[in-house]
Amino acid sequence: MTSKQGIQPEDLYHLKSVADPQLSPDGTEVVYVETRIDEKKKDYVSNLFYINLKNKTPQQWTFGEDRISSPIWSPDGSQVAFLSTRTGKSQIYVLSKAGGEAKQVTYCKNGVTSPVWSPCGKKMAFSIKLGKDETILDKVTDEKKEEKELKPLEIDKMKHKSDAAGFLDMEQFSQIAIVHLESGELEQVTKGNNHVHLGTWSPDGQYMTYLADVAEDTDFSFKSDIYLLDVETKQARPLTEGTGMYYQTSWSPNSRFISFIGSEREFENATQAKLWLYDLQQNLLTCVTSEFDAPIGDFAIGDFLQGVVSPRVQWLNDNHSFYFQVTDHGNAAIYFGNIDGEIYPAIHDDQYVYGFSLDAQHDQAVVAISTTTNPGDLFFVNLKTGEKEQLTSINEEFLKTRALAVPEAIEFEGAEGWKVNGWIMKPVGYEEGKKYPLVLEIHGGPHAMYANTYFNEFQILAAQGFAVLYTNPRGSHGYGQTFVDAVRGDYGGNDYEDLMAAVDYVLEHYDFIDADRLGVTGGSYGGFMTNWIVGQTNRFKAAVTQRSISNWISFYGVSDIGYYFTDWQILAGLDDIEKLWHHSPLKYVNNIETPLLILHAEKDYRCPIEQAEQLFIALKHRKKETKFVRFPESNHELSRSGKPTLRINRLEYIRDWFVNYL
C-alpha cells in the first residue's frame, strides 16, 4: 500500500502544460509555451520558454500574467513572433533573441490570429475579423470605459452561433492582412463576404495559401477549400474542387509541393482525414494516404493539456519526404512519408504525441509527448533511430509527492465479434484480496479516441479508491474507417453492446471489482450514452451525466450543430420523428432507477442546457433520485479549458457522487 495520496481536484493549481514546440531554422534552439493556473488570479497564465539544444537548460523568456500562443521563428532565426493578450485582445509581438522587451506590432481593434512570417523576414501576415464598415486601421479601444449599447440581434442564417464564440456577428468576416515590420504599415490582402483563413507562405515568397468556403448558402455547406493566392497580384485560385473539407497546408522547401489534410466527407463527420499533395509544376492533386486506414492528425481526447496545436505535415530539405501525425489504436504517432507514396511509422509507442517541430536537415525533431503517468513534456528525438532525450520535466517534482494509477491495456470482443480496445486502472493504494467499486468512463465525439495519455479525472477517481474502465467502442477514431462509421444510425445499439461487453469482460477477468458497486459517467456523446445506459439497465448503482443529450427532437433546433448533426449521426431529421425519439434517452425515463447526477454548463451551445433541464424535470416528476448542477459562464469545453475553479468544482461533484453511492 502506498503512503502517498493520489491526484486531488485542487492539484490542477500545481500541474503545468508544455505545448507547441518550435525549432529554430538551424535546428539548434527551441521555443515553446508553458501554461499554468495562477492560484491568486484563479486563471490561466502562459509564457514563452526557450531551450538551446547544446546545453538543454530551459529559460523563461516572457513573464506576463496573460496568455501567449503561436510562437514562430523569423526566417533568419534572430527573432520570435507570438500572440499575446497582454493588452486585452490577441496581438502580435516580436521578441529579439538577443534580449530586451517584446515589441507590439499589431494594434487591431478585433485582435488577430495565425501569424506567419514572410520568407524575407520583413513582413508578417495574419488573420483578422472585420465587421461592417471596419478596416484594418481601426485600433483597439479601452473596452472597460466604453459601455456597449444593448441592441437586438438580427438572425437570418442557421449558422448563427457557435459553442466556442457564442452568437456570431453576421456582418463580420475573417480576412488576411500584412504588417510591414519596419514601418508598421498595414495592408489588407483579401476582401469580401466570405471567411478567409490564412494558411502558409510559400518559401519563395510568391504565394500564400488560405482556406475558404465560397458557397452561396453556407448553412448547408460543410466544405473548406484550399486557395493559392499570388501575393503580388492578389489573384487567387482554388486547388481543391469544393467537394470536401481541407486544412493545414505546408510547403516543400522548393515551393513545388503543397501538402494538406482533409477528406471528401464520404462518411460526413465520421470520415477519416487523409494526407494530400498538390504539385504546382504539374497542377496535379493526389491523395498520399488513400490506402492507409487511419486518420491523419490528432483525434485523442483529454482533459488536462492547454495550448495544444495540432502539427502540420513537415518537410525534409530533400523536397521529397515529410513527417506527419497519425491517430492509431490508442496512440498518436509520427509517420514518415514521401511523394512516391511510401509510409511507415517513425515514432509509434504507447503514448500521445501532441506536437512536434522538425529539423529538416537531420531527421530530428522536438516532440511533445504525454503518457498515462506523465501529463506532458518535450523530448529531442532522432526520427531515424527513435533515440530520445528528455528536455523538460515540468511536473516531475510535484508528481513525486503523488501516487498515480497505471492503466493496463485490454482487448475484448464487442458486438458482432468485433475487437474493442480499452484500459483498466486499479485504484491508488490497491490491496490484493480487496474488492473495489468500478467507474465506466465514456468519451465524447463519438468520433474521438481515448489514448495512452494522462487523464486527470481518471486519476482523481483512482485516488478515491475506484477502479476505472475506459474504452474505444465503435464510433471511435483510430481503428479504421469501418469502425468509426459504424455508430451512425445506431446510437444506443452496438455501441451500447460494446460498452456492456467491456464491463462483462473486466468482471470476468479482474476479481478485485465489486459487481454490485458499478458507476458510469461521460460527457457529450458520453453523456448521451450514460443517459441511454441507465434507461436500459439497472446494473449501475450511480451515474453522472455531463453536457449530455437526452432528446434528439429538441436538439435539432437548439444546438449550434443540431440541424445537420442528427442527419449525419442518427440518419434522421424532423421528417422522421419516430427514429429521433427511438434514439432519445428521454423516451426511456420511466426505466431509470440509477441515482443520476446531471452536470451542465449554462452557455453550452453544442449540447444546450435544455437537454439537461428536460431530463432533470422528467426524473423529478417521477420521484427519481437525481440532482442538477449548472455551471455559470461556461460552455461545452468546461472540463478541458473552463474556468479553473469551476473545473475543480466539477471534479469534486463527480468524485463525491460516486463516493456517496458506491
- Looking at residue 146, its pLDDT comes to 57
| Cβ neighbours around 468 below 10 Å, total | 24
Cell of 266: 464520404
As a whole number, the mean pLDDT across the chain is 96
The per-residue pLDDT for 95 is 97
Mean pLDDT over 90-117 rounds to 95
What's residue 274's pLDDT? 98
Q: What is the mean pLDDT of residues 424-450?
A: 97
Q: What local confidence, expressed as pLDDT, does residue 225 receive?
A: 96
pLDDT of residue 148: 75
Residue 218, judged by CB atoms within 10 A of its CB (0-12, 13-18, 19+), counts as middle
d(CA 116, CA 489): 42
Q: What angle do CA 184, 46, 96 make, to 5 degrees?
A: 40
Residue listed under C-alpha cell 448547408: 220
Alpha-carbon Rg for the chain, nearest whole angstrom, is 25
Q: How confident is the model at residue 483 (pLDDT cuts 50, 70, 90)?
A: very high
| Residue ranges of domains in the chain, CATH in brackets | 399-661 (3.40.50.1820)
Strand pairing partners for 449?
A: 300
pLDDT over 60 at 293, yes or no? yes
> Residue 99: which pLDDT band, with cuts at 50, 70 and 90?
confident
pTM of the predicted protein model: 0.97
* Residues identified as active-site: 524, 636
Better pLDDT: 359 or 138: 359
In the structure, what pLDDT confidence band is assigned to residue 2 with cuts at 50, 70 and 90?
low
Residue 615 has pLDDT above 90, yes or no: yes
Mean pLDDT for the stretch of residues 106-123:
96
Residue 658 has pLDDT above 80, yes or no: yes
What are the φ/ψ torsions at residue 15 (nearest 5 degrees)? -90, 140
Contact 25, 77 (CB under 8 A): yes
**Tell me: the pLDDT tens digits for 198-237?**
999 999 999 999 999 999 898 999 999 999 999 999 999 9
Average of per-residue pLDDT across 366-374: 98
